[in-house]
Amino acid sequence: MRRLEMPRDKVTRFAPSPTGPLHLGHAYSALISAERAGAGRFVLRIEDIDRTRCRPEWEAQILDDLHWLGLRWETPVMRQSDRMPAYRAALDHLVAEGLLYPCRCTRADIRAALSAPQEGAPPHGPDGLIYPGTCRARSMADAGPQDALRLNLRAALGRTGALFFTENGPLHTGEHAIDPNWMAAQVGDVVLARRDMGTSYHLSVVVDDAAQGITEVTRGVDLFEATVIHVLLQALLKLSQPTYWHHDLIRDEQGKRLAKRDDARAIALYRAQGATPQDIRAMIGL
């Protein structure tokens, strides 16, 4: 089969969080992203906004494992912990547009509000439990240091035109139009600034992808549904929109996706047992 030549201006990225060891699933995602860059650029970003769980020793191990796998990237490496002013500026823009509100609800509050009086499990979306709008009427003037900041989703959808994104990956290939009514019902008012971080994954990943000039986001299919959130934020913040390549997940023998706690699948452990980078590629089907 003839290999397709990638555009030289393509920019892809791998963005690990240093909260544990690099495992086979991470290696799969990193190697696919680097391959998708082709003759373009492959960049690295350390997503360390969760300062309670991220550790410098994990970051050092991740970088060492990626080098061992044969990957090379541009320096300096972007770290989210250095980019709080950029996230604050994005939040300020959305506040000025009247699209954010403070929320004091805990996860237990939200679960309780969703569980009664309905029966069955509370509804979940790509941002977790679908927020019932308890604090939506609150003003930013009422915001306190313990509040999260949520996006008023219906108001935000009213500020954009038609939204869609392009998926290049084999699992959902094609143009995907975003239904605003579906999004309002199935996603809800997502958190854009958590009380203990000052930002959130959804906000920071959108701001940073634009800052790094990412043209194609390569990541696991578990984040496919979250793409609608990111496309909406790109439109609201007037940021360029990349295309997407969502790949399948590496799973264990029971079909469960690998997580940071799966130390038995850690690249460092395979290295200590004498595995080669080629062995790792064979294990993950590359």
Which domains occur in the chain, in start order? 1-82+250-286 (3.40.50.620), 83-204 (3.40.50.620)
Q: Which residue has the higher pLDDT, 118 or 133?
A: 133
pLDDT for residue 250 is more than 80: yes
Range from 3-12, 221-230, 276-285 carrying the lowest mean pLDDT: 3-12
Asked whether the whole model's pTM tops 0.85, one would answer yes
* Predicted pLDDT of residue 6: 44
Q: Tell me the per-residue pLDDT of 95-109, one tens digit each, with 9 for 90 and over.
A: 999 999 999 998 888
* Predicted pLDDT of residue 113: 86
Q: How confident is the model at residue 112 (pLDDT cuts 50, 70, 90)?
A: confident
Percent of the chain with pLDDT over 90: 79
Amino acid at 253: E
Burial label, 56 (beta-carbon count in 10 A; 0-12, 13-18, 19+): exposed
Q: Tell me the per-residue pLDDT of 158-203, one tens digit each, with 9 for 90 and over.
A: 999 999 999 999 999 999 999 999 999 999 999 999 988 999 999 9
Most confident of 93-102, 114-123, 140-149: 93-102
* Predicted pLDDT of residue 196: 85
Amino acid at 254: Q
* Predicted pLDDT of residue 2: 31
pLDDT for residue 14 is more than 70: yes
